[in-house]
Amino acid sequence: MEAFEAVQHYFNMAADELELEDDLRPLLALPEREITVQIPVQMDDDRLVSLIGYRVQHNRARGPMKGGLRYHHEVDLDETRSLASLMTWKTAVVNIPFGGAKGGVAVDSRAISKREKERITRKFVDEVHELIGPDKDIPAPDMGTDHEVMAWFVNQYNKYAGFNPAVVTGKPVEHYGIPGREEATGRGVGILTIKALGRIGRKPAKSTIAIQGFGNVGSHAAKFLSEAECKVVAISDLSGGYYNPNGIDILQAARYSREHGFSLAGYPEAETVTNHQLLELDVTVLIPAALGGVITCENVDRIKAKLIVEAANSPVRPDADKVLTERGIPILPDILANAGGVTVSYFEWAQNRQFYQWNLNRVRGELDHMLSTAFEQVWDLAVERHVSLRTAAFMVGIDRVARAMRLAGQA
C-alpha cells in the first residue's frame, strides 16, 4: 500500500465511524492543489543538477495551510501528498486554526554542502513564492531541514513580498523565531508518552524506552523522557542502534552526536544493534522517530513494546496497525503524538503577527495545555466508541474540518 493510500485507509475507517456523507469524502480526502517544480542548482563542483521539489496543499477549511518541508532522497509526490493530508487532521486534532500542507525536495540532505542546501532552498522559494504566504501556506522544518533553512527561506521570500516573518515557522530565535519550537515536537512526544503510560497503568520510573532516530524529534523526546525518570535503553540514527539495558545517558549521547557531526557512530556506552533490532526490543514504549513505514507485516509479530508512540509520521503501515490493534497494543498516532511541533509553530506564527515576543515558560505551558486537551479528548472518544486511538484521532480531526466546510457553505 502506497503512503497516501494508507492515510486514505485510516481516513475511511474514521469516516465510516462518523457516518460521513459519501459526497463529502473526496472533498475532504483529496488535496486542493499539488505543485511539482524543477529546481536547477549549481553544485559546489560547478555541475548543474536539476532536482524536483513538491508542495501539496491539502485543505484550508480551517485556516492557512501548514506543514513542514522535507529534504530527503525518498521524497516523492505520493509521500508528500500523504504527509499533507496528515497535517490537515493533525492541526484539527489539536484545534489550531490551520489547514494542512507539506513540501519536500528529493535530495540526500547529508550528501550536500551547506551552501548547496542554501541554493536549493532559495531556488525552491523562487518557484513557489506566489503560492505560499502567512495567510496562505506556511512551511516549517521537517526531516533534513532546520532553523537555518527556514532563515534562508524567509530571507528569499522577503525579496518578493517585503518583511514577512510569519511566512515560515521554526526560524532561529534571533530571527523572529520562538523559544521552544526546536524542542517542541520531541517535548510533545514526551508529554504524551507520560500521559499514555498513566492511562495503561505504568509508572515512568519503571518504564523502558527505545527510540529510533536521534535528530530533532528523537533527541528531544529522549531528553524529556529521561528527565521524567523513564529509562531510555536504546537510541539510533542512520549509523545504527545503541542499546544499554541499564539506561543511556541522553545528555552525554547528544553531546557525542554533536561532536561527531551529528552521528552516533562509535558511541561507546552501549552495545550496537541494527535499526531493525531496535524496533523489536522488549521495552515498555517504542518510539519510531525517523522514517515512515518501519513497522510492517514483516516485523510486526516480533514487536514486543507495550505502547507505541508515533513520533515520526506514518511509521506503522496499516496491515501492522491492524495486527497491533488486535493484540491490544495502544498506538498513539502521529497526528496526535507529534503535534507539539505544529502547535508551537502556531504560537510562533501568532507571535509574528502580533509583534509580541513569547517566553519559554509561556510556550511550554500552553503546549502542555493544548496537547493534554487533545489527548484527553482522543483517549476518551476511543474508549467510548471502542475504536483505536488512531481512528478516534481521525474522527476528531475529520469532524472539525467537515463542520468548517459545511459552515462556510463549501460542502
Ligand X SMILES: O=C(O)CCC(=O)C(=O)O
Which residues of the chain form contacts with ligand NAI (CB under 6 A)?
A: 68, 141-144, 185, 212-218, 236-238, 275, 289-291, 311-313, 338, 341
117 is annotated as contributing to ligand binding? no
CB 343 within 8 A of CB 372: no
- Reported in sequence order, the residue ranges of 88-230 that DSSP labels E, i.e. its strands, are 100-106, 137-138, 208-212
Q: At 392, which amino acid appears?
A: A
CB 49 within 8 A of CB 40: yes
CA-CA distance, 54 to 102, in Å (whole number)? 8
Toward ligand NAI, which CB reaches closer, 237 or 280?
A: 237
Binding-site member from 342, 370, 382, 389 for ligand X (CB under 6 A)? 342
Is residue 66 near ligand X by the rule CB under 6 A? yes
CB 6 within 8 A of CB 384: no
Toward ligand X, which CB reaches closer, 67 or 186?
A: 67
CA-CA distance, 177 to 147, in Å (whole number)? 8
Interface pattern 154-173 for ligand X (x via CB under 6 A): ---------------xx---
Stretch that binds ligand X, among 20-28, 66-74, 209-217, 353-361 (CB under 6 A): 66-74
Q: Please enumerate in sequence order all residues whose Cβ is within 8 A of that of 46, keeping only pairs 6 or more positions apart, or say none.
A: none
Minimum Å distance from CB 183 to ligand NAI? 10
CB 344 within 8 A of CB 184: yes
| H or E segment and range at residue 169 | none
Toward ligand X, which CB reaches closer, 62 or 231?
A: 62
Is residue 313 near ligand X by the rule CB under 6 A? yes
Is residue 137 near ligand X by the rule CB under 6 A? no
Residue closest to 350 by CA, chosen among 131, 165, 102, 142: 165
223 is annotated as contributing to ligand binding? no
Residue closest to 227 by CA, chosen among 202, 250, 203, 200: 250
Minimum Å distance from CB 141 to ligand X? 7
CA 11 to chain centre: 18
Q: Choose among ligand NAI, ligand X, none what residue 57 binds, the Cβ cut-off being 5 to 8 Å by kind.
A: none
Q: Choose among ligand NAI, ligand X, none what residue 311 binds, the Cβ cut-off being 5 to 8 Å by kind.
A: ligand NAI
Is residue 345 near ligand X by the rule CB under 6 A? yes
Q: Choose among ligand NAI, ligand X, none what residue 82 binds, the Cβ cut-off being 5 to 8 Å by kind.
A: none
- CA angle, corner 48, sides to 42 and 53, nearest 5? 80
CA end-to-end span of the chain: 29
Stretch that binds ligand X, among 46-54, 60-68, 106-114, 232-240 (CB under 6 A): 60-68
CB 104 within 8 A of CB 69: yes
Verify whether residue 223 is a known catalytic residue.
no
Binding-site member from 79, 118, 142, 146 for ligand X (CB under 6 A)? 142
**Strand partners for 90:** none
Q: Please enumerate in sequence order all residues whose Cβ is within 8 A of that of 33, keeping only pairs 6 or more positions apart, or say none.
A: 56, 57, 131
95 is annotated as contributing to ligand binding? no
CB 390 within 8 A of CB 382: no
Minimum Å distance from CB 69 to ligand NAI? 10
Q: Choose among ligand NAI, ligand X, none what residue 291 binds, the Cβ cut-off being 5 to 8 Å by kind.
A: ligand NAI
66 is annotated as contributing to ligand binding? yes
Which listed residue (102, 117, 171, 223) is catalytic?
102
59 is annotated as contributing to ligand binding? no
- What residue numbers does the annotated binding site cover? 66, 90, 185, 216, 345
Please list the active-site residues: 102
Question: Using CB under 6 A as the criterion, which residues of the chain lie in contact with ligand X when the complex forms?
Answer: 66-68, 90, 140, 142, 169-170, 313, 338, 341-342, 345
